[in-house]
Structure 1
Amino acid sequence: MTNNRRRGRIALAALLGTIALLAAGCGGDPAPEQPQPTGTTVAADPGGGAGTFSIALPGSLAADFATLEQGFRGNAGLAIMPVGGTEMVTFGTWTSGPAWSTIKVPLAIAALRNSSAYNATASSAITASDNGAADTLWQSLGGGAAAASAVEGVLREGGDTVTAVPTVRTRSDASIYGQAEWTLADQVRFAAQLPCLPQSERVVGLMQQIVPSHRWGLGAFGSAEFKGGWGPDPSGNYLVRQFGLIDSPSGRIAIAFAAQPDSGAFSDGMAMLDKMATLISGHLSELAGGHCA
């Protein structure tokens, strides 16, 4: 057997091992038979300087996402992780940007831990994405460095070890906290631990009461607990993103996705999220869910 063929077999074995790992759910409750893997793209070097190759199983979420992405006029990204899990799968070219209103979730948790007097304010900030209410929550934590530290503390509890929340306003037309740079990977990692965090129940419950006008994307799932965020860059081009939790046959799944359309229009970004949500709904049986330990 040549070295190249041997390396090819090793690469295939590594791929199968990776897929098996991603298909395994985490959590304390017994799960039904594990769903089939999503077929996420895996790169390997067959040796001999031949470069890399990638595999996406036909009919899998990975292959279908690649097809969907080809039809997008703009950049999109998707990250998926079982609740309570440690492994994620990611798709697409978009990976990071301002959190916008999605950061209101850890902000509301921090504020309600500090004082239950802000229940109604937190409700407005989460269900209607009210910016004034979110500003009140921020100030209730002391504003500036004190508030940023409190929000970062919640993120750290959720497994996000790197996201930094600004302490001062960086744009006159945007909130301080909304300009935190939040990657999809860190966001889905936080979402996978969100329902497991102490004193998070109130905010997670509010995420299931999003107002009808904001129920696009993950809002198509009746069981979804989610939060959206959107806003323009300095040139006026919109980024639209959401993250949250949905049900699968084997447990709960954390989802984070985003779209940045070439047109810069909010409506086009919203439509891209709708299409990604529809794609996910057709592959739920493949996705490993999980539970809090």
Structure 2
Amino acid sequence: MSTDPCMSTDHRRAQPGRGRAALARACCAAVTFVAVVAGCSETGTPVADPEAPTAPHAAPPAPAPPAESGPLAGFGDFAASLPADVGLAVTPIGGGQTLAGGAWADGPAWSTMKVAIAIAAVDAGTARTDDLDAAIRRSDNDAADRLWSSLGPPDRAAEATGAVLARDGDPQTRVNAVATRPGFSAFGQTMWPLTAQSQFASHLVCDPAAAPVTDLMRSTDESWGLATVPGAIAKSGWGPDEDGRQLARQFGALPTPAGGLVAVAIAAQPDSGTFEDAAATLTTITQWLAPRLPAGTGCTP
């Protein structure tokens, strides 16, 4: 694969999408936040991030009873007004209770899995600096494939990448070793729940071994979604479903108005099915969320 739809060099800033009531979605999108206690692209017009769903993985922790409260109160109504299926998960830095909402909860990782692959290559001492930069800041597919291959045969690469997830708060997600959809990478087809991804981000930003990668996430070439907030740590991924409808997702950490950071994972699959609308919807979600975040925390020694 040479071009990951999530990795193109077409870094146009996405404009916020226009919200409109979607009656058919109102019931599911109005599903309010649930508290989850967890054990913790781009060249030209994006078309596909090298990955897609279908691989099994361990089930995420069971959710607690619905409770729309705290900084995410009102997200159900907000999500129902958007012309897209959306999801959101927020976790304190260092792990803890994850607040989640929206109808979209789980799907293919796409290029967001490149973060764990890059860290695994850093751990193994096989990561070239230029490949790290290209895979994370520009989401270049060829660079990510080289990092993946540097970890050994696919089963060993998947094991090493999964070990990074487990070390940083997500022991349940199983990284694909074999592509389950022709034309897309194996690792990007890994199913990664937003709650698990948010938990991973909450530990990732405090992992000294991950610093070479998280530093690059602070200066991504992307200019939409979480990356529109100054000081954000972010990585995106996107690609089409079997019907060609684009999904875009991001994860990382946002600085809060009162200081500190909060881990965040977001996703959107627009009714239009286009990447442009998916990216714009993530920007709209970010603009709704950022000013509502409570005081965050920093990493403790």
Equivalent position of 2:197 in the other structure: 187
> How far did residue 68 of structure 1 move?
1.8
* 1:112 partnered with 2:133: no
SS of match in other structure, 1:98: coil
CA contact (8 A) 1:191 1:254 kept: yes
SS of match in other structure, 2:263: strand
- Could you tell me which amino acid in structure 2 is paired with residue 233 of structure 1? D
> How far did residue 225 of structure 1 move?
1.1
Equivalent position of 1:264 in the other structure: 273
Distance between the aligned counterparts of 1:82 and 1:116, measured in 2? Answer: 32
Equivalent position of 2:102 in the other structure: 92
Q: Gapped runs of 5+ residues in structure 2?
A: 1-33, 38-63
> Which entry has the higher C-alpha Rg, 1 or 2?
1
Distance 1:186 1:267, change over 3 A: same
> How far did residue 120 of structure 1 move?
1.1
> How far did residue 93 of structure 1 move?
1.0
Give the 5 Å matches for 1:141-220.
Answer: 141-211=151-221, 214-220=222-228
Distance between the aligned counterparts of 1:242 and 1:166, measured in 2? Answer: 19
CA contact (8 A) 1:97 1:181 kept: yes
- Could you tell me which amino acid in structure 2 is paired with residue 240 of structure 1? A
Give the 5 Å matches for 1:53-72.
Answer: 56=69, 61-63=72-74, 65-72=75-82
After the TM superposition, list the runs of 4 or more consecutive aligned residues in structure 1 that deviate by more than 6 angstroms. none
Q: Pairwise CA RMSD of aligned residues?
A: 2.1
Name the TM-score, length of structure 2 as normaliser.
0.75
Q: Gapped runs of 5+ residues in structure 1?
A: 1-17, 23-41, 45-53
Distance between the aligned counterparts of 1:55 and 1:195, measured in 2? Answer: 27
CA contact (8 A) 2:260 2:295 kept: no
Distance between the aligned counterparts of 1:158 and 1:117, measured in 2? Answer: 19
SS of match in other structure, 1:276: helix
More helix by share: 1
* 1:247 partnered with 2:258: no
> How far did residue 243 of structure 1 move?
0.2
CA contact (8 A) 2:120 2:160 kept: yes
Give the 5 Å matches for 1:22-101.
Answer: 43=65, 56=69, 61-63=72-74, 65-101=75-111
> How far did residue 67 of structure 1 move?
2.7
> How far did residue 235 of structure 1 move?
1.4
SS of match in other structure, 1:260: strand
Aligned length: 240
Distance between the aligned counterparts of 1:170 and 1:229, measured in 2? Answer: 18
Work out the percentage of aligned pairs sharing the same amino acid.
40
Equivalent position of 1:232 in the other structure: 240
Equivalent position of 2:290 in the other structure: 281
Distance between the aligned counterparts of 1:109 and 1:55, measured in 2? Answer: 35
Distance between the aligned counterparts of 1:170 and 1:116, measured in 2? Answer: 26
